Amino acid sequence: MPASYWKLSSFYFFYFASIGAFMPYWGLYLKEQGFGAGQIGELMAIILATKIIAPNVWGWLADHTGKRTLVVRIAAGMAMICFAGLLFHSGYWWVAVTMALFSFFWNAALPQFEATTMNHLGKSTHAYSRIRLWGSIGFVLSVGSLGAVFETVGVSWLPWIVLTLLGALWLSTLRVRDGGVDHSGPEPETLWTTLKIPAVILLLVACFMMQASHGPYYAFFTLYLEEHGYTRTVAGYLWALGVLAEVGVFLMMHRWLPRFGAWRLLALALLITAVRWGLLAGFVDSLPLLVVIQCMHAASYGLYHAAAISLIHQFFVGRQQGRGQALYSSLSFGLGGAMGALASGYIWDGLGPLWVYVMASGLATTGFVAALLGSGSRQSALISSPTSRTNGF
């Protein structure tokens, strides 16, 4: 593999290792600090809501300065500094402000690094999944080991562990340089020109619905398992199993994308996700079915993300790449994830945990319909042909 492969992969490894330490256990940490389900949903929504603004601010800056990796470096360093605020106090408003500042920078780094990775790959964008899989490996190692750790030492150690991983993430950004931007194809006059394309609108709607359906998963899955008698160790293993399944998909996407097309894979991912949340609502007490449900994460994230990132890269070209990745992140992981997490907290308190995942299934079903409509649009046909392969990766 070229040296750039390992430099790019190391960022994904530490970024998603920090997510593996933070997201699955953040709800447990907040519960131990005395917060209720509604407050947990609100604090989780703050983290996700900053993705609505932050990626677009940093995406505009990266596109106009051309210094994309410098933006990533600054964002990773400031995220580490801001997160350290959790070491000093644990009141609701202190945590809320700390998380808003931390996530403003943390959420800015990944979209710009995605654009950097695509620029390094050039025409070999189908090889993206072979780099991105290292993020899944980092997540698996992190979440799989920390469940047992927190059984022993307690979840109060979470801030220190995440801070260490954020430090490693910042160090990894020092090794990466900007890749060349592809200007070989026609470039729309403005970003608004691209956003008016019906296929782009449907793509963003599908992505929004997918991540809104994941809001209950990221905010409450571990608590949901504890409510039904599972230990934190088992919860950690189930989280890890889901991402291991995702790794398997990433290993195959460089073959599947050219063969089946990104739109078909996106629609399939949303359909499987709708079934997944429906099963989780009704069969959480069955460990064998939980194993199957977690294996479906291969579609819910792996298949979905690789297909979506490919479509975003093809629709948003040239100097729009940074803002295109930022919009994808802000509207789906940001606005979608925030609204899903916020609604799930209130539904958890009002109707009960089961209805949280019924809602999630309905959201994914709506996204599936949007993906089907998008795949049949005229603009989608214009980018449906696979990119040519080169020997780079």
Cα separation, 340 vs 366, in Å, equals 14
- Is 248 inside any structural domain? yes
Can you give the pLDDT at residue 136? Answer: 82
- Is 389 inside any structural domain? no
- Is 117 inside any structural domain? yes
Can you give the pLDDT at residue 286? Answer: 94
| Percent of the chain with pLDDT strictly greater than 90 | 29
Tokens of 78: 């400031």
Domain count across the chain: 1
- Is 1 inside any structural domain? no
- Is 71 inside any structural domain? yes
Cα separation, 270 vs 365, in Å, equals 7
Cα separation, 371 vs 189, in Å, equals 26
- Whole-angstrom CA distances from 218 to 20, 25, 28, 104, 311 are 10, 9, 12, 18, 25
What is the tens place of the pLDDT at every residue in 30-71? 888 888 878 887 887 787 777 778 777 877 787 777 788 888
Cα separation, 228 vs 225, in Å, equals 5
Handedness of CA 126, 75, 13, 7 (dihedral sign): positive
- Would you tell me the crossing angle of helices 68-83 and 158-173 to the nearest 10 degrees? 160
Cα separation, 84 vs 101, in Å, equals 11
Which contacts (CB < 8 Å, 24+ apart) does range 349-358 have? Answer: 349/36, 349/37, 349/38, 353/220, 353/224, 353/227, 354/281, 354/282, 355/281, 356/216, 356/220, 356/224, 356/281, 357/216, 357/224, 357/277, 357/278, 357/280, 357/281, 358/277, 358/278, 358/281
For residues 390 and 122, is the Cβ–Cβ distance under 8 A?
yes
Where is average pLDDT lowest: 102-106, 121-125, 181-185, 318-322? 181-185
Cα separation, 324 vs 320, in Å, equals 6
What is the tens place of the pLDDT at every residue in 182-241? 544 555 557 778 888 889 999 999 999 999 999 889 878 888 998 898 988 898 889 889
**Look-up: residue for tokens 């801030």?**
159
- Is 64 inside any structural domain? yes
Can you give the pLDDT at residue 2? Answer: 57
Cα separation, 159 vs 94, in Å, equals 14
Q: What is the pTM of this model?
A: 0.71
- Is 390 inside any structural domain? no
Can you give the pLDDT at residue 168? Answer: 93
- Residue of 37 and 307 predicted with greater confidence: 307
Query: Which helix (DSSP H) or strand (DSSP E) does residue 158 occupy?
Result: helix 158-173
**Look-up: residue for tokens 């958890």?**
348
CATH at 217: 1.20.1250.20
Tokens of 80: 């580490």
Cα separation, 297 vs 278, in Å, equals 14
Domain enclosing residue 285, as ranges = 7-176+187-382
Average pLDDT, the chain: 83
Burial of 215 from C-beta contacts in 10 A (0-12 / 13-18 / 19+): buried
- Is 393 inside any structural domain? no
